[in-house]
Structure 1
Amino acid sequence: MKGSFPVWRNWLLKLKKTLRLLGRYYLNFLLLSLVLNLSSSWAIIRPSAVAGKWYREDPKALKAQIETFLKDAKLPSLPSKINALIVPHAGYRFSGPTAAYAYKAIAGRDYNRVVILAPSHYAHFYGVSTLDVVAYETPLGQVPVDRKVVKALLKNPLFKEHTMAHLREHAIEAQLPFLQIVLKNFKIVPILISEVKDEDVFILADILKKVLGKDIKNTLFIASSDFTHFGPMYGYVPFKENVPQKIKNLDMEAVEFIKKGDAKGLLDYYHKTKITICGIYPIAITISSLAKQPKGFLLHYTTSGEILSNYSNSVSYVAMLLDEPGLSENERENLLKLARFTLKYYFNHGHPPAVEEIPIKVSPVLKEKKGAFVTLKKHGELRGCIGFIRPIFPLYKTVMQASLQAAFADPRFLPLRQEELKEIDIEISVLGPIIPVKKVEEIRVGRDGLIIKKDGQQGLLLPQVATEFNLDRLKFLELTCKKAGLSPSAWKKGASIYRFTAEVFGEKKH
């Protein structure tokens, strides 16, 4: 019997497709249930439930569609470590272009597993449900499930295995084809959330952290969620005038709580406004599951109302990422303040300020030795950029020295004049580790800065240069070679290539 299972399963799947074409969905649903509820001694695969409906069924067409979405997504500079994504889960026609922003941000990164938390749309139960199967299947192949983690979660009373809830659910499956394109060698932990209390959010997050243990550092969390569902179709019409802007305002308030990593504030806002974010609890659990309070970044926002030019009913789509804590907002502001103060002080006194004269509190993080660059821009144009690649000095001292060097020692520009200072915007890039590049395919535009050394010459470009000038990997390598005074193709032979990430932030006003 065991040996004949693959044959029976193939027969069932063919029958499933035939019945679907005949419009007999209820029998199709029973067949899926049968496949999933066969003896656990067999290799159980959760077949696709929405291929041909929510996304294309033909593998080549699906791959081409996703690759087009990814190509069209234009990203800002990215943090060095991305711990979590918030991604929509509607049909790809509507939410695919937005989802691509989030998935492009993690393309080529290394994660052992992806924990996908999604709302349960088709079944109601208390708590959360995960599914102990070998893999999920899409037209692009099978995505293995981390059964070790799933089994560990199921030992907790809040985690159940509601098989029927997973059969039709699109919110997890919608993420899989994108993941299959942008990542390699990963497993998933599928989790559906139905009815939970606010206090359960933090209990569930603690369970996830305990089960994942130290390997949480190698885990990507995905909160699968659409945002405001507006209109009579969704029973949510809190306003009737200036609808597009008011929907956006409603969504952006929620986004602000996510940016701050404030799960409790987000839930309070949800209860206050009754905002119809279907994955509000998956988002809150995701925020709370990360090791420290994360920072959120909005990558893209749109609505079905905008896409269709019709706001009678509208669903909002948001792509966000949550990064590993680096500098706090206060520490970033202090470094920018210090950079400007250093320049003002130098103009007034002719020498840099002493440590005891600086106007900021130097936190322990700012005392850590780090490399950093300071970029000066005047009316959006480069006016100076110099820094320190290696972590030689405490970060705050690195910023002070780099500020002066960028203002007065960049050989590409005349020294900064005092009257120009009020027109200058300051940007700081705090560098991560310098990593040798073995294959150029390791380089990710938007994530990595580059250093190229050859014949005693060296060129460096920060990660934001590639995104600002819309460079692909090849053009980025060539431009870095030119920065070193080398021929554009010098990287191909005999050159040492290094990559690094950077935490980039600048003045919004001064």
Structure 2
Amino acid sequence: MLSLVLNLSSSWAIIRPSAVAGKWYREDPKALKAQIETFLKDAKLPSLPSKINALIVPHAGYRFSGPTAAYAYKAIAGRGYNRVVILAPSHYAHFYGASTLDVVAYETPLGQVPVDRKVVKALLKNPLFKERTMAHLREHAIEAQLPFLQIVLKDFKIVPILISEVKDEDIFILADILKKVLGKDIKNTLFIASSDFTHFGPMYGYVPFKENISEKIKKMDMEAVEFIKKGDSKGLLDYYHKTKITICGIYPIAITISSLAKQPKGFLLHYTTSGEILSNYSNSVSYVAMLLDEPGLNQNERENLLKLARFTLKYYFNHGHPPAVEEIPIKVSPVLKEKKGAFVTLKKHGQLRGCIGFIRPIFPLYKTVMQASLQAAFADPRFLPLRQEELKEIDIEISVLGPIIPVKKVEEIRVGRDGLIIKKDGQQGLLLPQVATEFNLDRLKFLELTCKKAGLSPSAWKKGASIYRFTAEVFGEKKH
């Protein structure tokens, strides 16, 4: 290890050797490969989303966490990623911010994993990122992920990042730095948050209860999982501060969630604890495997919804009532059958001609779009009902809403990503995310305009108002 430190100061061609082979996982390459392949074979997966942007994976010794980690890695087996950004907690060094390591590769018994040095060098230009070589030399939380990656992926580079102490507000700054550095190639990047969950027992200085231990540990873990499922990094951090839950990678998880372009949706793949494995809960660590995707529709589903919206309006003009389900001209995929909120916006020569929707996921998405189309055409109180001869001049835009999340601090609101709902004194206003972009609004102006939409004073959001944010997947007709 000493020679590695000396070499780091004098040479660019540095390989970070394995620090935990033979301790945390098998040192013999054949035995290690066989062990991982057995874990992967035993993992039974549910149906998966078409796009997987991130994983949450444990990093304990493979005896304990390997079977759980395999669920996450089996989900990405054979998929193509240019790079893998691994965010992990620092177990052996304390510092503020983030640390990455500018080396040529990490080494495991299965060979070398190249580092994306271009990304690493770009990150190190930011004061929140430091190299801190000593923090990486003993760290297992990044290395534990590498043999699995070597088995399930090909032709990828890694960006190793350790997180120690960081304020909540810097979580979002770190995520923004990552997005800026990765740029458009973030689409070809897999994020991994390396984390174990609740560390319970005297060994970890965390004994919040002494009865029904296994049930209460699981309850705490699952409450954290629910925030991850909703893609709510702020809610997850608030839960962490409130309960003091000992999730070692809480910050890597929050950064991972916040680094994705859209608010992601999480899926729990597997959960267990060392207490369950050993049948002894005097000390226990929890292991969770999850994946995150940025929920969205494929191009065919988008086109089908736009086609359905226009068909619904044409049908209503010709028959005086909406079409029956068996009459609609599209294939209703499983995604379109999911209950989702959505808005339909009608524009005539670029000017608003009607916009109404459903905030909450009451109906299957395709039915929501059908109803919202009719409401936007005939029930928007700001406009006269749409006339049949106008339909050929109308462009249709659909906004599919994500989860509605309460806003505790307005700093959480990100212009361009979030839509807003403001409620006060029985009145409510909603603006879709694209409104802020179209009118070049900053956060303050966006809040004020949402208040005006509710019939409130522009400053009504400052006191006594309930504020909510949501993302939206927005798409429209290019031609019709």
Render the CA deviation track for 1:396-453: whole Å, top value 9, x for unaligned: 3899999999999999999999999999999999999999999999999999999999
Q: 1:363 aligns with which of 298, 316, 333?
A: 333
Cα gap change, 1:367 to 1:70, in 2 (>3 Å): closer
Cα gap change, 1:482 to 1:172, in 2 (>3 Å): farther
Cα gap change, 1:380 to 1:290, in 2 (>3 Å): closer
CA-CA distance at 1:333 after TM superposition? 19
Render the CA deviation track for 1:277-324: whole Å, top value 9, x for unaligned: 000000000000000100000000000000000000000000000002
Cα gap change, 1:196 to 1:494, in 2 (>3 Å): closer
Render the CA deviation track for 1:377-409: whole Å, top value 9, x for unaligned: 999999999999999999838999999999999
Q: 1:151-300 alignment to 2 at 5 Å?
A: 151-300=121-270
CA-CA distance at 1:325 after TM superposition? 1.9
Measured in 2, the distance between the counterparts of 1:424 and 1:241 equals 64
CA contact 1:79–1:502 (8 Å) conserved in 2: no
Cα gap change, 1:285 to 1:447, in 2 (>3 Å): closer
CA contact 1:36–1:44 (8 Å) conserved in 2: no
Measured in 2, the distance between the counterparts of 1:224 and 1:39 equals 28
Cα gap change, 1:275 to 1:292, in 2 (>3 Å): same
Q: Secondary structure at the match of 1:447?
A: coil
Cα gap change, 1:374 to 1:44, in 2 (>3 Å): same
Cα gap change, 1:371 to 1:293, in 2 (>3 Å): closer
* Length-normalised TM-score, structure 1: 0.62
Question: Which residue matches 1:52?
Answer: 22
CA-CA distance at 1:207 after TM superposition? 0.2
Cα gap change, 1:265 to 1:485, in 2 (>3 Å): closer
Measured in 1, the distance between the counterparts of 2:469 and 2:235 equals 38
CA-CA distance at 1:498 after TM superposition? 42
Question: Which residue matches 2:396?
Answer: 426
Cα gap change, 1:240 to 1:352, in 2 (>3 Å): same
Q: Secondary structure at the match of 1:37?
A: helix
Measured in 1, the distance between the counterparts of 2:209 and 2:288 equals 21
CA contact 2:447–2:458 (8 Å) conserved in 1: yes
> How many residue pairs were aligned?
480
CA-CA distance at 1:164 after TM superposition? 0.3
CA-CA distance at 1:41 after TM superposition? 3.5
Q: Secondary structure at the match of 1:321?
A: strand
Q: Secondary structure at the match of 1:71?
A: helix
Measured in 2, the distance between the counterparts of 1:422 and 1:205 equals 44
Percent of counterpart pairs with the same letter? 97
CA contact 2:406–2:467 (8 Å) conserved in 1: yes
CA-CA distance at 1:455 after TM superposition? 67
CA-CA distance at 1:71 after TM superposition? 0.2
CA contact 1:448–1:463 (8 Å) conserved in 2: yes
CA contact 1:449–1:500 (8 Å) conserved in 2: yes
CA-CA distance at 1:481 after TM superposition? 58
Measured in 2, the distance between the counterparts of 1:476 and 1:108 equals 43
CA-CA distance at 1:326 after TM superposition? 1.2
Cα gap change, 1:421 to 1:299, in 2 (>3 Å): farther
Cα gap change, 1:445 to 1:238, in 2 (>3 Å): same
Q: Hey, which bits of structure 1, 4+ residues long, moved more than 4 A?
A: 327-352, 354-395, 397-510
The alignment yields a C-alpha RMSD, in angstroms, of 18.7
Q: 1:145 aligns with which of 115, 122, 132?
A: 115
CA contact 2:5–2:133 (8 Å) conserved in 1: no
Render the CA deviation track for 1:161-205: whole Å, top value 9, x for unaligned: 100000000000000000000000000000000110000100000
- Which stretches in structure 2 are left out of the alignment for 5+ residues? none
CA contact 1:434–1:498 (8 Å) conserved in 2: yes
Question: Which residue matches 2:283?
Answer: 313
Q: Secondary structure at the match of 1:223?
A: strand
CA contact 2:263–2:471 (8 Å) conserved in 1: no
Cα gap change, 1:185 to 1:434, in 2 (>3 Å): farther
CA-CA distance at 1:501 after TM superposition? 23
CA-CA distance at 1:138 after TM superposition? 0.1
CA-CA distance at 1:43 after TM superposition? 1.3
Measured in 2, the distance between the counterparts of 1:187 and 1:160 equals 20
Cα gap change, 1:300 to 1:415, in 2 (>3 Å): farther
Render the CA deviation track for 1:14-43: whole Å, top value 9, x for unaligned: xxxxxxxxxxxxxxxxx3453564445441
CA contact 2:99–2:131 (8 Å) conserved in 1: yes
CA contact 1:387–1:402 (8 Å) conserved in 2: yes
Cα gap change, 1:300 to 1:391, in 2 (>3 Å): closer
CA-CA distance at 1:139 after TM superposition? 0.1
Measured in 2, the distance between the counterparts of 1:466 and 1:307 equals 51
Render the CA deviation track for 1:341-373: whole Å, top value 9, x for unaligned: 999999999998459999999999979999999
Cα gap change, 1:391 to 1:484, in 2 (>3 Å): same
Cα gap change, 1:451 to 1:420, in 2 (>3 Å): same
Question: Which residue matches 1:490?
Answer: 460
Q: Secondary structure at the match of 1:175?
A: helix
Cα gap change, 1:192 to 1:33, in 2 (>3 Å): farther
Cα gap change, 1:497 to 1:204, in 2 (>3 Å): closer
Measured in 1, the distance between the counterparts of 2:178 and 2:409 equals 35
CA contact 1:384–1:410 (8 Å) conserved in 2: yes
CA contact 1:261–1:294 (8 Å) conserved in 2: yes
Cα gap change, 1:426 to 1:53, in 2 (>3 Å): farther
Measured in 1, the distance between the counterparts of 2:241 and 2:455 equals 59
Render the CA deviation track for 1:91-134: whole Å, top value 9, x for unaligned: 00000000000000000000000000000000001111000000
Q: 2:306 aligns with which of 336, 341, 358?
A: 336
CA contact 1:77–1:447 (8 Å) conserved in 2: no
Cα gap change, 1:369 to 1:69, in 2 (>3 Å): closer
CA contact 1:130–1:154 (8 Å) conserved in 2: yes
* Length-normalised TM-score, structure 2: 0.65
Render the CA deviation track for 1:50-74: whole Å, top value 9, x for unaligned: 0000000000000000000000000
CA contact 1:77–1:463 (8 Å) conserved in 2: no
